[in-house]
A and B are shown apart, each in its own frame.
Chain A
Amino acid sequence: MLLEVKGLKKVFTRGEESVEALRGVSLSVERGEFISIMGPSGSGKSTLLHLIGGLDRPSAGSISISGQSIETFTDQNLSVFRRRKLGFIFQFFNLLPTLSALENVALPLLLDGQSLGQVQPKAKELLERIGMGKRIHHLPDQLSGGEMQRVAIARALVTDPLLILADEPTGNLDSKTGATVLQILSELSTEKSNTILMVTHDAKAASFGKRVISLRDGQIEKDLPASQHHLTADVRRLREDDAGGF
């Protein structure tokens, strides 16, 4: 078991009000799974992802990744954990505008204290693998949305993470580019055994995952394989029928 979440709660306080974003969520994830997390806005899906990724702290509950209870980590340890064990892909790409594609990919390892020279070969290889081999020295403002997201994926992979967390990775892309990105993620999961957790509101995107967890009002509503989950079942069938793919 790679990831185990038990009784996770998160309460947000804004002034006088408090909002319970998560009301006790438990789940477990095995290595190599590709999980889509869905739900309407306010369901707590993003919050769940943030907590698992150590980007925020739970109000109650536990999160265990590879046997380590990250909810007890200090801020320092969390940072290092994120750096070495996790990979992030954001909706708005979040590449550093002053770094080239290559340097962006290398960044987590640079943060770890390695020199660019040491990291460069691996970063280059990753970029080539996802089809960005000819653009490794380009700056983000010279890349299209799809290209940027691919760089982000390469960045997420550079540390050989235990877990890849993607927050609406196609939210800012057109459907064709989005499909390409999702295809890459899918291959990473099936061929490379990367474990991927993806938050999305889009059923089409969610259908690329093998398992779908849907949330409503801070709790898990359903947790089913994608082919059985009502939100994705139809989409998957449609896609499988259209053999050529996107």
Chain B
Amino acid sequence: MNKRPIVLAIVFMLTAKVFAAAPQLNGRAIMERNEDARRLSDVISNARLTSGGEGTQKRVKDFTWWRKLQEGTSLFNTLTRFKKPAEIKDEGILFLEREGNKNEILMYLPSFKKTRRVESQQQSSAFMGSQLSYSDMATPHAADYQHQLLRTESCGEGEENRGVTCYVVESIPVSDEVRERTGYSAVTAWIRSDNFMMVRSDYKNLKGELFKRMEATDIRVVDSANKKWMAHTLSVKNLKTGHFTSLSFEKVKANQGIQNSIFTIQNLERP
């Protein structure tokens, strides 16, 4: 009997299974799929930002969040209105993404009844006293980076991620401008191979040191018609100082048909 075909068949079956488990994709493609999975046309949500860690007080901020995709682009407008604590009640931050990354960030201070502009230099600095920066709050764009698939591995042992394979992609900013704006020299992301949502990111600062880690949990579908997902909890930890920030969303409503007028200075100044 000729054994060769059986061997071939077995080999074929085995390899087919491997291939079936993870479709062949490169880094860029993966990240583009990720961006797509997050691209909600609009969303309103309540949110809670908790910051703490050794040597700092635990601070909790509650706010409402509006976000809308600008017509025909992948750029978002975001309005954040704070509700608690009392010191920051009615403060608002309007984030208008612009092409070429000339984002406009405006802050409304109710004590002065004035709107202030945040300079672009500041965008890599901490947002709201958290471990997130302004540019983190902006939706990262795949086009800003060069991506490379490093490997695939298990997404983790947590309940949510058990049994799921993750792509591990390393992203490096394409230009100095992106580096400056984001404050990162490299980002390594774990992307779920099933829904292309990020479950974990490791960030390296401009010195090349690994300093920040973000974990996304409670990832749910928020727009089933368009297959859009959102992580309901983001946890960020500063690996150097041990400080952490946790951002959790609830009552997330997508596709509400938010008006463009929400994202104007006039509206910003009317809490």
A and B in direct contact, judged by CB atoms within 8 A: no
A residues with a Cβ closer than 8 A to B are none
B residues with a Cβ closer than 8 A to A are none
